[in-house]
Amino acid sequence: MSTTEDLATELVEIATTAAIQAGALLAEMAPRRLDLRAMASAKSSITDLVTAADIDSEAAVLEIVLGARPDDAIMAEEGSSRPGTSSVTWVIDPLDGTTNFVYGYGEFAVSIAAKVDDVVVAGVVHNPIAKETFAATLGGGATRNGQAMTPSDPSSLASSLVGTGFGYLSEARADQARILPYLVPAIRDIRRGGCASLDCCGVGAGRLDGYFEAGLKPWDFAAGLLVATEAGCGSRSLENFPGRSTTLVIASSDILDSLVNLLIECDAKGRLEGH
């Protein structure tokens, strides 16, 4: 019987192998992204693409994960979810940043987290183009290519670079955008990276001072959130905000409270002034 720590170590090793393998497949397919764009079919809305690359990458991840641990449950973006008989559930985004991938613009990643009894204990986010692997275990710290990570140390919100993202449904996007006219003047600048898992890791690595996004799915953030918090960042989940969604906020601990308060204030102003 292994301890939780041993189990987390086993799971992060499997996740790393699977993410690197699936990432190599994506990197091979990336030059064909324009064909893939033509072939892409819409998922939840016309802006929500799914490609052959998403499907093939998911199959590659599952082959390794279930090859190593056949009794575990799977929750995966492209539909391979299934119950298991062990205490472990894998939360998989086989291609996070699909829109970036098909347009050849910006970054994409394979994101794999493992939960034990509903607690995320291991997470890996792998960017095959930059050859960067972010990994974390619960209580065991976070690494980027095997090296410890340090979040930024911003002196104020006004000097903070903040990432965000938008969902695929147009009503949800309107709610999300309402904040922006008030937020943008109050911070250094905003970034929309197009890959939530890498945005989370970016805060852990000090490339962003903060990140927030409403309406994320578990596979978008499970691994990246563990990487960021194990790197030393703070996080908050704001329920029913904006509208009926949940917003994940991750930031350098120095600015987490003030960023949360600013987001709530900006949303209230947006609603009042009809944006």
- Residues of the shown chain interacting with ligand IPD in the complex, contacts defined by CB under 6 A: 93, 96-99, 165-167, 194-196, 213, 216, 220
Residue among 191 and 271 whose Cβ is closer to ligand IPD: 191
Q: Provide the minimum distance between the beta carbon of 212 and ligand IPD in the complex, in angstroms, as a whole number.
A: 11
Residues with Cβ within 8 Å of residue 31, at least 6 apart in sequence:
none
Q: Provide the minimum distance between the beta carbon of 196 and Ca ion in the complex, in angstroms, as a whole number.
A: 6
Q: Rule CB under 5 A: which of 219-258 touch Ca ion?
A: 220
Q: Provide the minimum distance between the beta carbon of 180 and ligand IPD in the complex, in angstroms, as a whole number.
A: 14
Give which of Ca ion, ligand IPD, none residue 212 binds (C-beta under 5 to 8 Å, depending on kind).
none
User: In b/e form, how buried is each residue of 198-207, taking b as 16+ CB within 10 angstroms?
Assistant: bbbbbbbbbb
Tokens of 152: 């930024």
Residue 13 DSSP SS3: helix
- Cα(242)–Cα(254) distance, integer angstroms: 24
Residue among 7 and 164 whose Cβ is closer to ligand IPD: 164
Nearest to 23 by CA among 184, 197, 216: 197
Tokens of 119: 């607690």
- Cα(62)–Cα(173) distance, integer angstroms: 32
Residue among 149 and 195 whose Cβ is closer to ligand IPD: 195
Residue among 93 and 175 whose Cβ is closer to Ca ion: 93
Nearest to 223 by CA among 5, 2, 3, 11: 11
Q: Provide the minimum distance between the beta carbon of 233 and ligand IPD in the complex, in angstroms, as a whole number.
A: 18
Which residue has the CB atom at the shortest distance from Ca ion?
A: 96
- Residue pair 213/165 in contact by the 8 Å Cβ criterion: yes
Residues with Cβ within 8 Å of residue 1, at least 6 apart in sequence:
none
Stretch that binds Ca ion, among 4-12, 87-95, 228-236, 259-267 (CB under 5 A): 87-95
Residue from 58, 72, 96, 213 in contact with Ca ion (CB under 5 A): 96
- Cα(126)–Cα(148) distance, integer angstroms: 16
Which residue has the CB atom at the shortest distance from ligand IPD?
A: 165
Residue from 54, 93, 107, 267 in contact with Ca ion (CB under 5 A): 93
Cross-strand partners of 144? 134, 147
Q: Provide the minimum distance between the beta carbon of 258 and ligand IPD in the complex, in angstroms, as a whole number.
A: 23
Contact letters for Ca ion, residues 171-210 (x by CB under 5 A):
----------------------------------------
